[in-house]
Chains A and B, each alone.
Chain A
Amino acid sequence: VPDRVQLLLNGLVTGSGLALVSGSLHLVRSCNGFFDLTVAGLFTVAAYVAYSISTVCGDRWLVLAVVGGVLAAASVGYLIDGALFRRLRGRRASGGILLVAGWGAYQLIENLVAVIFGQDTVSLTSAVTPSVVSLLGARVTSLNLVSFFLACSAILASLLFMHGKRSLRFRCVAGDPELAAVRGIPVDRVQSLAAVWAASLAGLAGILQGMDSQLSPRMGFDSALNGIAALLIGQTYGLGGVVGAAFGLSIVQQVVAWMFGSQWQNVSVFVLLLLALLVRGVRQTGGTAAGRLA
C-alpha cells in the first residue's frame, strides 16, 4: 500500500506541473487556434530568470524568483505574440504555419539560453534543504508540497479566468475572428491576453520543475511534448479535461516507471496518445478551437 500511495503522490506532484503546461497549451489552442510550441521556451526562460534572481538575491530568492520568472515569461510571451504570431495571423496563416513559427521561436529561445548560460545543468534550489514530510506512509519534500499547492492555485485561477463572459469571448475569437471584431470584441487584445496568461502558466511550470530538478536549456521541450499529449487526450472536455489528462498521464508514467523502468515513461505517454487518436480519430483533433473551454 505505501508503494501505491507513493506512486500516487509522485504522480500528483509531477501531474500538477504537467497540468500547468497542458493548460497553457490549451489556452492558446482554444483562443488563438494553434499548438504553441513557444510554451517550451517560456518554461525555460522563467526557470533561468528565477535562477538568476536566486543567485543574485540569495536567501530572499523564493518569492522574488517565482514572481520575476513568471513576469519574464509573460513579457517574452507577449513580445513573441505581438512580433510574430499577430503578424502571421494578420496574413491569415494557418495553424500549421503558426506551429512551425512557434517551433522556430522555441529554438531561438532554447539556444539563446544555452549561449548565455551554457549547456551544463544548474540548480535553482542548491541553497535550500527541504524537509521530508510523511503522508500515509509515503514521503514527499516540503518543496514538492509548495509546488503542488502553487500549481493547483494557478490551475484554479485559470479555471476562474476562463469562466463566464471571457470564455465566450475566447470562443468567439477562436471560431471567427472577423465576426468577433464586427461584434465589437477587441480580437488582438483577447488573443494577447490568452498568450500572456498561457506564458505565465508555462513560466510557473518551469520554475516549479526547476525547484525539483536541475535546469538545462532543453528542459521545456519534454514537458511541452507531454503537455501536448495531455491536451490532445483531454481537450474534448475543456480545460478541466486537459488538467485531468495531465494528472492521469503523470500517474501512468509513475506506474510504468515502477513496473518496467523509467526509460519507458515517455514511450508510455506517446503510445497512449496514439491509441487515443486511433480510437477517436479526426473528430476530436480536427477543426479549429471549437472545443469547450472550461
Chain B
Amino acid sequence: LNYVFEIAFQLCIYASVLISLDFILGKAGLLSAAQAAVYGTGAYVSGIVAIHSGGGFFMGLGLAVIAGALFSPLLAYVSLRVSDEALVLVSLAFQLIWSELVVNLADLTGGPMGLRGITNSGVFGLSIDNPGGGLIFASIFLAVTLLVSAKTEASPFGRALRAARESAEFLAACGKESIKIKAQAFSLAGMIAAGAGCLYARHAGYISPGSFDLGESIRMVTALILGGLDSRKGPVAGAVVLIGLPEALRFLGLSGPLAANLNQVIYAAILIAILIARPKGLWGRYAIK
C-alpha cells in the first residue's frame, strides 16, 4: 500500500507542477525550459529553512512560494525581451545557471550530494514524511492548484492571457500590456511550482540537484505536450505518463540505466509521433506554434 501511496504522491506533485507549466506554455503560449529550476527553488528554500533555522512546514511553504514568485518574474524579465523561439534557449540558460549554482554553492545547498535531513515537526498532528500523510498533503495541494487553474481560466486575467498568446497587438488595442500579463503568468506558475517543490522536499527529507536538472525540465515540457496544452485534463494525463512509464518498465523487469535510456527513447518517440500526428496532444485545446 505504501508503494501505491508513494506513486500517488508523485503523481499529485507532478500534476501540480505541470498545471503550473500550463500557465506559461499552454495559456500564455511561451515555451520555457526552466520549470524544474523553479520547482527546485521551492524545494531548496524549504529544505534550507528546515535545516539551518528549524523552520516548520508552513514557514517553509511560505518562503518557497515567495521565492518562486520572485524567481519566475526574473526569468520572465529576460525571456520576454527575446522572440518566442529564443525564449526557450534563454530559459534553458537560466536552468543551467541555476543547476551550476546549486552544485557549486555547496555550503548552502549541499552541492552535488544534496541536502539531507530535512525534518518536519508535522502539521495538525499529521506527518508529511510518511506515504499516507504525504499523499494527503499532495492531494490537497493538487486540489487547490486545480481550483486556481479553473478560476483563472474563467477570470478576466485568464482571458487576457489567452489573448496575449494569440495576438499581443489585439491585447494592446484593448488597453492591456501583454508583457505584464505574461510576467504575472510566470509569477503564478512560479508560486505553484515552488509550493510543489516544498512538499516534495519535506516529504522526501532529501533533495539533490539531479531531481531538478534540465532533463527534468524537458521531461515536464514533453509530458505537458503529450497530455495537452491549455486544458485541465492535459497536465494530469501528462503526469500519469511521466510517472507511469518508468513504473510500467519496472514491471516489465527493466530497471537501472538501461531502463532509464529505454524510458527516454519511448518518451522521445511518443513526442515525435505526437508532434507529427496530433500536435494538440491527448486532451489539449492549443498546439504550440
Q: Verify B83–A285 contact, CB threshold 8 A.
A: yes
Question: Are the C-beta atoms of A281 and B82 separated by less than 8 Å?
Answer: yes
Is A248 part of the binding interface, using a Cβ–Cβ cutoff of 8 Å? no
A sample of 12 cross-chain residue pairs with beta-carbon separation below 8 angstroms, ordered by A number, consists of A35-B89, A87-B276, A97-B279, A100-B31, A103-B218, A107-B268, A111-B261, A111-B268, A115-B258, A228-B89, A267-B104, A270-B96
> What separation, in Å, do the CA atoms of A278 and B94 have in the docked complex?
13
* Chain A contacts for B258, CB-based, 8 A: 115
CA distance A99 to B32 in the complex (A): 12
Q: Does A274 contact B (CB under 8 A)?
A: yes
Which size class do B's interface residues fall under? 35 or more
A263 in contact with B103 given A97-B275, A108-B265, A112-B265 (CB within 8 Å): yes
* Bitwise interface map of B from 49 to 82 toward A, beta carbon under 8 Å scored 1, else 0: 0000000000000000000000000000010011
Please state if A232 and B261 are interface contacts (CB–CB under 8 Å): no
Which one of A100, A225, A277 contacts B275 once the chains associate, using CB atoms below 8 Å? A100
**Residues of chain A lying within 8 A (CB to CB) of residue B265:** 107-108, 111-112, 115
| A184 close to B (CB within 8 Å) | no
A107 touching B100 by the CB < 8 A rule? no
Name B81's contact: one of A105, A229, A281, A287 (CB within 8 Å): A281
Residues of B within 8 A of A (CB): 31, 78, 81-86, 88-90, 92-94, 96-97, 100-101, 103-104, 218, 221-222, 225, 257-258, 261-262, 264-265, 267-269, 271-272, 275-276, 279, 288-289
Rounded to whole angstroms, the CA-CA distance of A278 and B93 in the bound complex is: 13
Interface positions of A from 86 to 141, Cβ below 8 Å from B: 87-88, 93-97, 99-101, 103-105, 107-108, 110-112, 114-115, 119
CA distance A286 to B261 in the complex (A): 35
Residues from chain B with Cβ under 8 Å of A103 in the complex: 218, 271
For residue A63, CB closer than 8 A to chain B, the reply is: no
| Interchain Cβ contacts within 8 Å, total number | 121
Contact of A286 among B31, B83, B288 (CB under 8 A): B83
Q: How far is the CB of B277 from chain A (nearest CB, A)?
A: 10
Tell me what chain A mostly uses at the interface: helix, strand, loop, or mixed: helix
Give min CB distance, B43 to chain A, whole Å: 21
Given contacts A97-B279, A111-B265, contact A271 B97 (CB under 8 A): yes
Q: Give A146 to B108 CA distance when docked, in angstroms.
A: 44
Complex Cα distance, B257 from A108, in Å, reads 15
**From residue 172 to 221 of chain A, which have CB atoms closer than 8 A to chain B?**
none
Chain B residues, Cβ within 8 Å of A35: 85, 89
Instruction: Judge whether A114 and B257 touch: CB under 8 Å.
Output: yes
Complex Cα–Cα for A267 and B102 (A): 11
A267–B289 CB distance below 8 A: no
CA distance A285 to B86 in the complex (A): 6
Chain A residues whose C-beta falls within 8 Å of the C-beta of B97 in the assembled complex: 267, 270-271, 274
User: A115: shortest Cβ distance to chain B, in Å?
Assistant: 5
List the A residue with the shortest CB-CB distance to B256: A119
A96: contacting residue among B88, B93, B276, CB under 8 A: B88
Min CB distance B97 to A, Å, is 5
